[in-house]
Chains A and B, each alone.
Chain A
Amino acid sequence: MVDTKVTLSGWELDNPVIPASGTFGYGKEFAELYDINILGTFSFKGTTVEPRFGNPTPRIAECPAGIINSIGLQNPGMEHVISEELPEMKKYFGKKVIANLGGANIDEYARLAEAFGKEEQVGILEINVSCPNVKDGGMAHGTSCENVYNIVKRLKSVTEKPVYMKLTPNVTDIVSVAKACEDGGADGISLINTMTGMRVDLKSKKPVVANKIAGYSGKGVFPVALRMVYQVYEAVKIPIIGMGGVSCAEDVVEMMLAGASAVGVGTANLINPYASKEIVEALPAVMEKYGINSLKDIIGGAHNG
């Protein structure tokens, strides 16, 4: 029997597979299809203080090996998520969940962290300082070392829960941003969020997505995400949830060899709603094929020698 267990800040997960925020809702649509308790855990849709409708449609466009999206953090708001979604989720998901939180400014991040920090259903606070689709905040926070440092510091003063900073790949030097997070006291790093991109329709000769520019994700971003996980692993000691384009169990192993302690699966869930389940189920055989007894042992394995 191979061992698929991994640990994030003292929290042991049955396996490293974590559906990524914004591609899994609150889990409900997937729980109708399969028992989502087989997952390591999942990260719920980015939640803000106030409800948000998000950006105008079209919000999605297809790319040869992925999609661009400009959802714009549509969510029912913090109060609704705590009073309605979390109790509902309890009915079909018995594990702790990752709370993905998006603030317009440092005070909002603190309010969110304080509120979700009190919820026993929440295992980790994943701080989205990387959304490319909102004007007020989002990615603007995550491109500055000073901002991420200040945000983590503040959040660590309002909550006991592990704080993971979700970083944007749209920076010149991902390593310095990750280091600033660690210096500020972050318990972990999630990366990558989407890369900014766009598509133009040849018939209308206009951008396909109403917001014009959107975030690129899916298979095509995998090598970029892998490279960033690899670089960040060398620079920090805190655990990394690696994501970006992961589509099969082999990708999970590759991401862990680069330095991820757990692995997010995003866009793949949208195309095949069973993607995360199939990855969980395929992992043991892939581990055996490559002579891996315990996933914990391979984290950062690509850095040896």
Chain B
Amino acid sequence: MERIFPKVTGNAKIAENTYEMRLSGDFSSITAPGQFVNFAVEGCYLRRPISVCDVENGILTVVYKTVGKGTEIMSRIRPGETMDVLSGLGNGYDVGAGGKRPLLIGGGAGVPPMYMLCKALVRAGARPVAVLGFNSRNEVFYEDEFKAAGAETHVTTVDGSYGIKGYVTDVIGKLDYTYFYACGPEAMFKAVEKTVKSDGEYSFEERMGCGFGACMGCSCKTKYGSKRICKDGPVLKRGEIIW
């Protein structure tokens, strides 16, 4: 973990209530896809945890949905402003576990961390397949980015206004894969858990006090004892989760 003060280089709306922010700084503390950063937001007492979507050449990309006060304020930040960021938090995904054909499952605000993971898997020689789930056409983002990164990409929308009508699980059932990685709402996880046929890992969210392991605010019970989502997670292996 590191506290840094990177400069915002971009903050643009890319879909309904969805923004992509780019920041320039030293992000060497980010060592794995699936890690997150914690933003101090002017006017909010606690920080806001957001997943790393990508880091390359000293530029961090995050994609976030505006769901409340903090993310609304973030969406109004202009390029040139400086942010107070705790960087390199959490464990991240195990890229080495993916095998030849890893499956990436992202639901809504759970799609962003899959992007850096996708790139890492391709770099490691895998041929990932990505299934990205959204509610509706106007919420869809990053389809082209996943394709460009080298993933076979399927998009689902609940209302059928774009891609395949239905849920990510409607597609997953028809695919072959060596391992899976999932990020999204817990309701999606429960459906995924019933559908998947391989080992894999899930990335969890919890309300956080500190985000770096000090307060015990984010604890969850696993088969191997209690873990802190912020420090021992957010990624947990399928085999250790108590549903």
Genuine A/B complex: yes
Query: Contact: A57 with B45, CB < 8 Å?
Result: no
Q: Which residues of A contact B14 (CB under 8 A)?
A: none
Q: In the complex the two chains form, what is the Cα distance from A69 to B217 in whole Å?
A: 7
Total contacts A to B, CB within 8 angstroms? 89
Query: Contact: B210 with A270, CB < 8 Å?
Result: yes
Query: Contact: B215 with A66, CB < 8 Å?
Result: no
Q: In the complex the two chains form, what is the Cα distance from A23 to B212 in whole Å?
A: 11
Query: Contact: A273 with B3, CB < 8 Å?
Result: yes
Query: Contact: A29 with B47, CB < 8 Å?
Result: no
Q: Which residues of A contact B231 (CB under 8 A)?
A: 29
Q: How far is the CB of B64 from chain A (nearest CB, A)?
A: 17
Query: Contact: A74 with B220, CB < 8 Å?
Result: no
Known contacts A33-B1, A62-B44, A64-B45: A57-B214 contact under CB 8 Å: no
Tell me whether B216 is interfacial, beta carbon within 8 Å: yes
DSSP majority for the B interface?
loop
DSSP majority for the A interface?
loop
Query: Contact: B215 with A71, CB < 8 Å?
Result: yes
Q: In the complex the two chains form, what is the Cα distance from A197 to B231 in whole Å?
A: 27
Tell me whether A92 is interfacial, beta carbon within 8 Å: no
Q: How far is the CB of B1 from chain A (nearest CB, A)?
A: 7
List which B26-66 residues lie within 8 A (CB) of chain A.
Answer: 40, 44-47
Query: Contact: A273 with B47, CB < 8 Å?
Result: no
Query: Contact: A271 with B217, CB < 8 Å?
Result: no
Query: Contact: B46 with A29, CB < 8 Å?
Result: no
Query: Contact: A271 with B215, CB < 8 Å?
Result: no
Known contacts A58-B207, A62-B44, A62-B46: A270-B219 contact under CB 8 Å: no
Query: Contact: B206 with A57, CB < 8 Å?
Result: yes
Contact of A59 among B40, B46, B86, B207 (CB under 8 A): B207
Contact of B219 among A57, A62, A271 (CB under 8 A): A57
Query: Contact: A57 with B40, CB < 8 Å?
Result: no
List which A200-218 residues lie within 8 A (CB) of chain B.
Answer: 208, 218
Of chain B, the residue at the smallest CB distance from A219 is B45
Q: How far is the CB of B178 from chain A (nearest CB, A)?
A: 32
Other A-B pairs, 18, CB within 8 Å; known A60-B208, A63-B45, A74-B226:
A25-B215, A25-B216, A29-B212, A30-B214, A53-B219, A54-B216, A54-B219, A58-B206, A58-B207, A59-B209, A60-B217, A60-B218, A71-B217, A74-B219, A270-B214, A270-B215, A271-B210, A273-B1
Tell me whether B221 is interfacial, beta carbon within 8 Å: yes
13 A-B pairs whose Cβ atoms sit less than 8 Å apart in the complex: A23-B210, A29-B1, A29-B212, A57-B218, A59-B207, A59-B219, A60-B207, A64-B45, A71-B216, A270-B214, A271-B46, A273-B3, A273-B210
